[in-house]
Amino acid sequence: MGFIRKEIGEREKKLLEDFSIEEKELALPFLLEDEKRGIFLCVKQFRIGEGKYQVLAMILGGHLLEFRLEEERADRYPVCNEENQSVKGLSTETISQLVIPKVLKGREDKIVTVIQHALSQINPYYDTKIREVNHVEYR
């Protein structure tokens, strides 16, 4: 599995401040362990084009420390196209599928905003606009 490890800035952290610790704990099936960096809660899984991504939030001692964006296939890393400053291989108009913990139902718009910021962090020249979500699955 390939990883894009990108710490998201303070502005993006504030976007998720209102997720309670209880909500995060109820989403335990989405916890991923990283021995060197602590435990990451998968806040949102989503698909853009052929790539599958997750926005992960690092939880340590009940505190949200950072976010990272993970990509499942190493050969699908976004590449900047200098001609139009877009990200090759990604269609940012539509997310075909979101998979989220049931406890976060109703937070879709907020999390899509976080995803947009995360994608912008990968390529700061690319203004990500996600206009629709085709399917949301709650687990």
**pLDDT tens profile 68-126:** 555 544 333 333 333 333 333 334 455 655 666 666 678 777 767 766 665 555 445 55
Q: What percent of the chain has pLDDT over 70?
A: 10
What local confidence, expressed as pLDDT, does residue 4 receive?
Answer: 35
**Strand runs labelled E in the chain:** 3-4, 31-34, 38-48, 51-60, 63-71, 80-81, 86-87, 94-95, 97-100, 132-133, 136-138
Rounded to whole angstroms, the Cα distance separating 121 from 4 reads 11
Q: Return the higher-pLDDT residue of 34 and 17.
A: 17
Question: How many other C-beta atoms can be found within 10 angstroms of the C-beta atom of residue 69?
Answer: 23
Q: Residue type at 93?
A: E
For residue 37, pLDDT over 70 is answered with: no
